[in-house]
Chain A
Amino acid sequence: MAGKSGRTISATPQGGIKEKIFSWEGALILLLIAVNIFGAVLSPNYNMTNILRESPRYLAEIFMLFGMAFILVLGDIDISVGSIVCLTATMGCLVSNKGMGVGAVILVCLGVGLLCGMLNGFVATKFTELPTMIITLGTQIIFRGIAEVALGDGGSASMTDIQSIGILRAKVGPVPLSFFIVIICAIIFITVLNKTTFGRKLYAIGSNRTTAYYTGIEVQRIRFFSFSMLGFLAGLCGLFLLASTYGANTTTGNGFEMEVIAMCVFGGIATTGGKGNIIGGFIAAFIIVCLRIAFGQINMNTQLILVIIGVMLIVSVLIPAVTNAINSRKKTKKA
Chain B
Amino acid sequence: MKKDKSLIKTITGSREASLVIVLIILIAVITVMSPSFLSPTNISQIFRNNALTMLMALGMLCVMLTAGIDISITSTLAFSGMIIGLMQKFDYLHNTFLLFVIGILIGTACGVLNGLIIAKGKVAPIICTMGAMYIWRGMAYVISNNAWASGADVAGFSDFGKEGSFGPYIILIIAYIAFFVVMKWTKFGRKIYAVGSNTEAARISGINVDKTIISVYAIMGLLAGLAGVLSVSIYASAQPNMQYAKEMDVIAACVIGGVSMNGGRGSVVGTFLGALIIAIIAKALPLVGISAIAQNLVKGVIILVVVVLNVITQRMMDKQALARREM
Task: Identify the A interface with B (CB < 8 A).
Answer: 77, 123, 127, 129-131, 133-135, 137-146, 148-149, 152-153, 254-255, 258, 261-262, 265, 270-272, 301, 303-311, 313-314, 317-318, 321-322
Task: Judge whether B245 is part of the interface by a CB distance below 8 angstroms.
Answer: yes
Contact in complex: A141, B133 (CB < 8 Å): no
Chain A residues positioned under 8 Å from B248 (CB to CB): 137, 140-141
Q: What CA separation (Å) do A116 and B126 show in the bound complex?
A: 23
Q: What CA separation (Å) do A145 and B134 show in the bound complex?
A: 25
Chain A residues positioned under 8 Å from B71 (CB to CB): 258
Interface size on B, residues (CB 8 A): 49
| Interface-located stretch among B36-44, B89-97, B300-308 | B300-308
Q: How far is the CB of B99 from chain A (nearest CB, A)?
A: 24
Contact in complex: B134, A127 (CB < 8 Å): no
Contact in complex: B307, A149 (CB < 8 Å): no
Q: Tell me which of A137, A308, A321 contacts B255 (CB under 8 A).
A: A137
Q: What CA separation (Å) do A143 and B141 show in the bound complex?
A: 28
Given A141-B252, A301-B142, A303-B240: A153 and B126 interface contact (C-beta under 8 Å): no
A-contacting residues, B18-72, CB 8 Å: 69, 71
B212-235 contact mask (Cβ, 8 Å, vs A): 1 or 0: 000000000000000000000000
Q: Tell me which of B138, B255, B304 contacts A310 (CB under 8 A).
A: B138
Contact in complex: A149, B303 (CB < 8 Å): no
Chain A residues positioned under 8 Å from B262 (CB to CB): 131
Beyond contacts A138-B301, A145-B299, A303-B138: 12 other A-B pairs, Cβ-Cβ < 8 A, are: A134-B307, A135-B307, A139-B304, A141-B300, A145-B301, A148-B296, A149-B294, A262-B134, A271-B126, A301-B141, A307-B134, A321-B122
Contact in complex: A123, B134 (CB < 8 Å): no
Contact in complex: A134, B131 (CB < 8 Å): no
Contact in complex: B141, A145 (CB < 8 Å): no
Contact in complex: A318, B135 (CB < 8 Å): no
Given A139-B300, A313-B134: A77 and B308 interface contact (C-beta under 8 Å): no
Given A145-B298, A314-B123, A321-B121: A137 and B142 interface contact (C-beta under 8 Å): no
Task: Judge whether B208 is part of the interface by a CB distance below 8 angstroms.
Answer: no
Given A137-B252, A142-B301: A303 and B127 interface contact (C-beta under 8 Å): no
Q: Of all chain A residues, which has the CB nearest B299?
A: A141
Chain B residues positioned under 8 Å from A145 (CB to CB): 294-301
Contact in complex: B293, A304 (CB < 8 Å): no
Task: Judge whether B186 is part of the interface by a CB distance below 8 angstroms.
Answer: no
Q: What CA separation (Å) do A308 and B296 show in the bound complex?
A: 32
B133-146 contact mask (Cβ, 8 Å, vs A): 1 or 0: 11111110110011
Chain B residues positioned under 8 Å from A142 (CB to CB): 296-297, 300-301, 304
B172-197 contact mask (Cβ, 8 Å, vs A): 1 or 0: 00000000000000000000000000
Q: How far is the CB of B315 from chain A (nearest CB, A)?
A: 8
Chain A residues positioned under 8 Å from B291 (CB to CB): 149
Contact in complex: B146, A301 (CB < 8 Å): yes
Q: Tell me which of B127, B138, B139, B142 contacts A317 (CB under 8 A).
A: B127
Most chain B CB atoms below 10 A, which of A254, A262, A272? A262
Chain B residues positioned under 8 Å from A301 (CB to CB): 141-142, 145-146
Contact in complex: A321, B314 (CB < 8 Å): no
Contact in complex: B142, A140 (CB < 8 Å): no
Q: Tell me which of A77, A130, A272, A306 contacts B135 (CB under 8 A).
A: A306
Top-8 shortest CB links A-B: A145-B297, A306-B138, A310-B134, A141-B300, A303-B141, A142-B300, A310-B135, A145-B296
Given A130-B308, A131-B262, A149-B297: A141 and B128 interface contact (C-beta under 8 Å): no
Contact in complex: B126, A77 (CB < 8 Å): yes
28 contacts between A and B (CB under 8 A): A133-B126, A137-B251, A141-B248, A141-B300, A145-B296, A145-B298, A146-B297, A148-B293, A148-B294, A149-B297, A152-B293, A262-B130, A265-B127, A272-B124, A301-B141, A303-B137, A303-B146, A306-B135, A306-B141, A307-B138, A310-B132, A310-B135, A314-B117, A314-B123, A314-B135, A317-B123, A317-B127, A318-B123
Chain B residues positioned under 8 Å from A304 (CB to CB): 138, 141-142
Task: Judge whether B152 is part of the interface by a CB distance below 8 angstroms.
Answer: no
Task: Judge whether B276 is part of the interface by a CB distance below 8 angstroms.
Answer: no
Contact in complex: A311, B135 (CB < 8 Å): yes
Given A301-B141, A303-B240: A309 and B307 interface contact (C-beta under 8 Å): no
Task: Judge whether B155 is part of the interface by a CB distance below 8 angstroms.
Answer: no
Chain B residues positioned under 8 Å from A130 (CB to CB): 307-308, 311
Chain B residues positioned under 8 Å from A129 (CB to CB): 311, 314
Task: Judge whether B261 is part of the interface by a CB distance below 8 angstroms.
Answer: yes
Q: How far is the CB of B224 from chain A (nearest CB, A)?
A: 16
Chain B residues positioned under 8 Å from A305 (CB to CB): 138
Q: Of all chain B residues, which has the CB nearest A151?
A: B293
Q: What CA separation (Å) do A271 and B125 show in the bound complex?
A: 10
Most chain B CB atoms below 10 A, which of A255, A305, A306, A318? A306
Q: How far is the CB of A215 from chain B (nearest CB, A)?
A: 25
Q: Tell me which of B122, B134, B245, B297 contacts A148 (CB under 8 A).
A: B297
Chain B residues positioned under 8 Å from A140 (CB to CB): 248, 300
